[in-house]
Structure 1
Amino acid sequence: MFRIEAEVDRARRDLLRSRLRDTNTAASPVLAALRGTAGEREVPLHVWALDEAGELAGGLVGHTWTTWLHITYLWVATPHRGAGLGSRLLADAEHLARTGRACAGARVETWDFQAPDFYKRQGYDVVCVIPDYPPGLTEYTLTKRLA
């Protein structure tokens, strides 16, 4: 007999993640080789741009895991758009990931109304397109080799 629950339970979430990680590690030689190394952990990587007044002009939030940079958020304030700040934030994050964390690749997910063309101009390739996710939009996954 099973009881199905739908509440948010952080302790169970963490337990599930740990058990899934253990299962994946046991099944994959690549993940098993990372066990106990720095590459096993997700390590935050943030790059911030502040204007002359010290206000947030833009930023990139992501993390590195194994040999990959995962870009979660990249945003530039309207007055600073079109001046290369987004490109600089991205280049700085890629440089930190490549030189300080031995990352060989980067990945990002974006929607059609956001920045797929921006990432393509930065050397990223589309590897996945999901139409109607959410309905009426298209999600793109893009990757770039950093090595």
Structure 2
Amino acid sequence: MVSRMFRIETEVDKARRDLLRQRLRDTNAAASPILRALRGTPGERERPLHVWALDTAGGLAGGLVGHTWTTWLHVTYLWVDDRWRGAGVGSQLLATAETVSRDERGCVDSRLETWDFQAPEFYKRQGYEVVCVIPDYPPGITEYTLTKRIG
């Protein structure tokens, strides 16, 4: 049972979220030599990375959304329109993100998550290795975490 001195809220409060994130980062930095060393450097903060593939009419053929942090690229979303699948668009999006992350941001590794019905085999062909498998996440589906050395 939660004490009366606490109030449970389920609404999004961006200011509190940001405060919580900063306090967690402060706690993590105090406990980790590498995170302490990164304090105040460009590698300390997450930097968004978006790569877009447009068709000849300017429509969205595919895209990759992720971010870089410390020495890692984290691919959050990669999607290719059905009309462009099999044409190398996904490979080009991923390769571009890896190149920018490595050459411009100093990343040496990449990570991503995918479900069994999405693209684990595609990522393996791109050199990614499965490092974690979570069955039934969500029920009936398996989630994979994959990583790749890019630097």
The yes-or-no answer on 1:15 pairing with 2:19 is yes
- Partner Cα distance (1:5, 1:45) in 2: 32
Match of 1:138 among 136, 142, 145: 142
Q: TM-score, normalised by structure 1?
A: 0.97
Structure 1: unaligned runs, 5 residues or longer: none
Q: Following superposition of structure 1 onto structure 2, how do residues 8-47 of structure 1 map, counting pairs within 5 Å?
A: 8-47=12-51
CA drift at 1:17: 0.6
CA drift at 1:12: 1.1
- Give the AA of the match of 1:34: L
Q: Following superposition of structure 1 onto structure 2, how do residues 111-126 of structure 1 map, counting pairs within 5 Å?
A: 111-126=115-130
- Partner Cα distance (1:81, 1:138) in 2: 23
- Give the AA of the match of 2:111: R
Q: Could you tell me which residue of structure 2 aligns to residue 56 of structure 1?
A: 60
- Partner Cα distance (2:8, 2:56) in 1: 53
CA RMSD across the alignment: 0.8
Deviations 1:28-65 (A, max 9, x none): 00100000000001111111111111111011111100
Structure 2: unaligned runs, 5 residues or longer: none
CA drift at 1:121: 0.4
User: What SS class does the counterpart of residue 113 from structure 2 fall into?
Assistant: strand
- Give the AA of the match of 2:138: P
Q: Following superposition of structure 1 onto structure 2, how do residues 73-112 of structure 1 map, counting pairs within 5 Å?
A: 73-112=77-116
- Partner Cα distance (2:89, 2:134) in 1: 28
Q: TM-score, normalised by structure 2?
A: 0.95
* Percent of residue pairs identical: 78
CA drift at 1:3: 2.7
CA drift at 1:20: 0.5
User: What SS class does the counterpart of residue 98 from structure 1 fall into?
Assistant: helix
CA drift at 1:11: 1.3
- Give the AA of the match of 1:23: T
Select between 37-46 and 5-14 the one with higher mean Cα deviation. Answer: 5-14
Match of 1:72 among 71, 76, 101: 76
Aligned residues: 147
- Partner Cα distance (1:43, 1:104) in 2: 15
